[in-house]
């Protein structure tokens, strides 16, 4: 997971224009993800229509706990504070493990990224951590000296080495591009004697071709983003990207041990961390939580999708790549403490301990817990490249309690309805859900738009929580089956994230979009 959602869209400044004009501008579209294709002409989740049907049928709900494994959550946000899970068996802040689960004062969940006084904010990518570990292991060893029992591992190491070197090059290029933007904006301010804005950018006299190109791009960008927000995003992106680059070159394991106090590679240790649920930057997790369960009909902000859900906060995702150990332990914690749906808006392309996460997934299956996972934002065909975590287990079976979600937009034009950044896959992605310009809760009691499969994932988790709440007799696997069976199909040609024309049936297993109204209608008819 990375910060700076907007900057991610244009660090390739010299390769493409920034963005299309938002399809969701205007107050009538702030909650577009709740709308229904049949009732409203928008491929939202159909949640509003679903509740109308549930009310008409006289259905009542039970509370469903949704675990959000993420960067942290602002638990006192006015639109979230009434839907945050409370561990009733734990007395707040008494320094005692009242419920004897191993975690002290875990009133709203747990953070696996904190120690006695500090919290992990930035982490290296998994590839960098694996490169360091394997480089130390094979130090001073030549290929011809490797014993036969270790040749497969050495071959993997050679692949890791090549990939790592490519990653460092890409990171350095990204930092250079963003620094170029920052330097340009500074030159504009120096020449104008005023802050960077549409006007100062237009009046700027470029001194070279590069500045001229940036100026022209900035004119388009500033039509979409306020200059002040852009400045903040550029500053934040530069800090984040430089930090990520630096972390890739440092011993991330030693930093982790110094802050958290555990050995990150000791999988036997499950009790570590702290109860600081928010962490250094809770933007991502707070936004995700609002989509799932922000208080409905309270007259403020937004309406979440699930009307009787409680958010369990599990902090395990830093700025950088999450660790397998933390993900697995977060899943186990969620299962053991009553979660029925787990939202996982994160992912990576390398893993050292897949077996450990697999075991946690199987544990969740044994306890009837549904896992909802974001497909990723790299416009990749997931059928062609492995990513983690994954429902594909080492025993070559697929976890039946797993949903993989791509991102869609509110565009009424079929060509633009799939998010251009979303990963996809005919055999790996189940369906798509709203993930572009999603307005939701953020820290400091605010609300913002954000885009990504990170948003499509909680849209689906919210629908799943709704179904589990009103139809509690359904198992996790049955909920997935119902959502798969009742997607809103789409037959028009779309532009796939790879830029080619395609049909929905070629981009995901179901060829459709998650739809709560269809699911509720199906279940009411069935019952």
Strand partners, 438: 450
**Could you tell me the two tokens for 333?**
């914690």
Secondary structure (DSSP) of 275-309: S--S-S--HHHHHHHHHHHPPTTSSSS---S-SSE
Secondary structure (DSSP) of 257-275: HHHH-S-TT-TT-----BS
Contact 423, 508 (CB under 8 A): no
How far from 205 is each of 199, 202, 208, 216, 258, CA to CA, in Å? 12, 8, 9, 12, 49
Instruction: Give me the pLDDT at residue 338, please.
Output: 98
Instruction: Give me the pLDDT at residue 411, please.
Output: 79
Quote the strand ranges of 181-321, DSSP E: 309-315
What single DSSP character describes residue 218? H
Q: What are phi and psi of 513, to 5 degrees?
A: -120, 145
Q: How far apart are CA 329 and CA 200, in angstroms?
A: 51
Q: Name which CATH class applies to 61-122+267-475+491-511.
A: alpha beta
* Range(s) within the chain of domains with CATH label 3.40.50.200: 61-122+267-475+491-511
Within 8 A by CB and 6+ apart from 240, the residues are 2, 3, 4, 122, 319
Beta-carbon count within 10 A of 35 CB: 23
Instruction: Give me the pLDDT at residue 14, please.
Output: 33
The helix or strand, by DSSP H or E, that contains position 179, with its residue range, turns out to be helix 151-192
**Could you tell me the two tokens for 403?**
């949903």
Instruction: Give me the pLDDT at residue 29, please.
Output: 64
Instruction: Give me the pLDDT at residue 487, please.
Output: 98
Q: What are phi and psi of 358, to 5 degrees?
A: -55, -45
Q: What are phi and psi of 125, to 5 degrees?
A: -70, 155
Q: What are phi and psi of 374, to 5 degrees?
A: -75, 135
Q: How far apart are CA 5 and CA 52, in angstroms?
A: 34
Instruction: Give me the pLDDT at residue 213, please.
Output: 92
Q: Give the position of tokens 């071709």.
A: 209
Q: Give the position of tokens 């649920």.
A: 277
**Could you tell me the two tokens for 240?**
């984040």
* Mean pLDDT, the chain cut into blocks of 10 residues (527 residues total): 44 33 47 94 96 98 98 98 97 96 97 97 95 93 89 94 94 92 95 96 94 92 87 88 90 96 94 96 97 94 97 96 98 98 98 97 98 97 96 96 96 86 97 96 95 97 98 98 97 94 97 98 93
pTM above 0.95, yes or no: no
Q: How far apart are CA 364 and CA 336, in angstroms?
A: 9
The closest of 250, 341, 345, 302 to 441, measured between CA atoms, is 302
Instruction: Give me the pLDDT at residue 20, please.
Output: 31
Instruction: Give me the pLDDT at residue 15, please.
Output: 31
């Amino acid at each position: 997971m990375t910060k700076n959602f907007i900057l991610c869209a244009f660090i390739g400044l010299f390769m493409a224009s920034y963005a299309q004009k938002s399809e969701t501008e205007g107050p009538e579209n702030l909650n577009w993800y709740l709308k229904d294709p049949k009732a409203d002409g928008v491929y939202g989740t159909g949640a509003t229509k679903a509740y109308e049907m549930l009310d008409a049928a006289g259905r009542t709900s039970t509370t469903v706990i949704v675990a959000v494994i993420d960067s942290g959550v602002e638990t006192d946000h006015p639109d979230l504070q009434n839907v945050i899970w409370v561990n009733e068996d734990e007395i707040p802040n008494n320094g005692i493990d009242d419920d004897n689960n191993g975690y002290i004062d875990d009133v709203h969940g747990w953070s696996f990224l904190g120690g006695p006084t500090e919290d992990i904010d930035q982490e290296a990518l998994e590839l960098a951590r694996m490169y360091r570990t394997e480089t130390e292991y094979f130090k001073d060893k030549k290929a011809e000296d490797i014993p036969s029992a270790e040749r497969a591992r050495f071959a993997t190491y050679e692949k890791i080495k090549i990939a790592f070197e490519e990653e460092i090059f890409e990171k350095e290029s990204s930092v250079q591009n963003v620094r170029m933007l920052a330097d340009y904006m500074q030159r504009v301010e120096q020449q104008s004697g005023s802050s960077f804005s549409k006007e100062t950018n237009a009046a700027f006299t470029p001194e070279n071709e590069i500045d001229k190109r940036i100026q022209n791009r900035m004119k388009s960008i500033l039509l979409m983003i306020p200059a002040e927000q852009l400045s903040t995003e550029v500053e934040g992106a530069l800090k984040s990207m430089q930090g990520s680059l630096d972390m890739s070159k440092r011993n991330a394991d030693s930093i982790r041990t110094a802050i958290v106090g555990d050995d990150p590679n000791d999988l036997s240790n499950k009790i570590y961390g702290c109860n600081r649920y928010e962490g250094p930057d809770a933007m991502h997790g707070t936004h995700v939580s609002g989509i799932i369960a922000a208080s409905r009909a309270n007259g403020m902000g937004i309406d979440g999708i699930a009307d009787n859900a409680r958010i369990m906060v599990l902090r395990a995702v830093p700025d950088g790549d999450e660790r397998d150990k933390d993900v697995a332990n977060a899943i186990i914690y969620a299962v053991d403490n009553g979660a029925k749906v787990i939202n996982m808006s994160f992912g990576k392309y390398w893993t050292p301990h897949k077996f450990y996460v697999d075991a946690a997934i199987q544990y969740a299956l044994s306890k009837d817990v549904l896992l909802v996972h974001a497909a990723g934002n790299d416009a990749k065909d997931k059928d062609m490249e492995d990513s983690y975590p994954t429902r594909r287990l080492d025993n070559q079976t697929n976890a039946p309690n797993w949903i993989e979600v791509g991102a869609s937009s509110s565009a009424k034009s079929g060509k633009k309805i799939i998010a251009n950044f979303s990963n996809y896959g005919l055999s790996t992605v189940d369906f798509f859900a709203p993930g572009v310009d999603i307005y939701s809760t953020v820290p400091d009691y605010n609300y913002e738009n954000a885009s990504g499969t990170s948003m499509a994932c909680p849209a689906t988790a919210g629908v799943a929580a709704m179904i589990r709440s009103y139809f509690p007799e359904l198992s996790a696997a049955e909920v997935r089956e119902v959502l798969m069976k009742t997607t809103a199909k789409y037959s028009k040609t779309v532009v796939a994230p790879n830029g080619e024309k395609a049909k929905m049936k070629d981009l995901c297993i179901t060829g459709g979009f998650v739809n709560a109204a269809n699911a509720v209608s199906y279940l009411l008819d069935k019952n």
